[in-house]
Amino acid sequence: MMSEDYAHGQRDGLRLALAILAAEEAKWAALLGESRSGRTNAIRAVRHKALQVAQARVQTALNRLTPKADSTMTSELASALDKAGL
C-alpha cells in the first residue's frame, strides 16, 4: 500500500496536469477556425480534441485516486497553482 504522503503528492501532480491541460485547451479553443487554411483549422481542431480527451483521462485517474472525503481542492494545491501562474 502506498503511503498517504505519496498518494497526496500523486493527486496534486494530477491536479496540476489537469490545470495545464485546461490552459492549453483554452489556447487552442481560441484559435479554432481563425486560419484561412482549412488544413491548419483541421489540425487545430484535432489538437483541441486531443487536449479534451487528455483532460478527461487525467480527471478519471484523479477521481480514482481521490478519497471520497477529499473531493475539494486543498489550500496547499491552490497556492502551488498560484505560484505556477495557473
Determine the angle formed by the axes of helices 4-31 and 75-84, rounding to 10 degrees: 40
Segment 47-72 mean pLDDT = 85
Segment 22-48 mean pLDDT = 94
What is the distance between the alpha carbons of residues 40 and 30, in angstroms, rounded to a whole number? 14
Specify the pLDDT at position 85.
Answer: 66
Q: What are phi and psi of 6, to 5 degrees?
A: -65, -45
Specify the pLDDT at position 8.
Answer: 84
Q: Which residue has the higher pLDDT, 15 or 83?
A: 15
pLDDT in tens, 6-17: 888 888 999 999
pLDDT in tens, 41-59: 999 999 999 999 999 999 9
63's grid cell: 477521481
What is the distance between the alpha carbons of residues 86 and 75, in angstroms, rounded to a whole number? 14
Where helices occur in 1-86 by DSSP H, the ranges are 4-31, 38-65, 75-84
Q: Which of 7, 10, 5, 15 is nearest to 80 (CA)?
A: 15
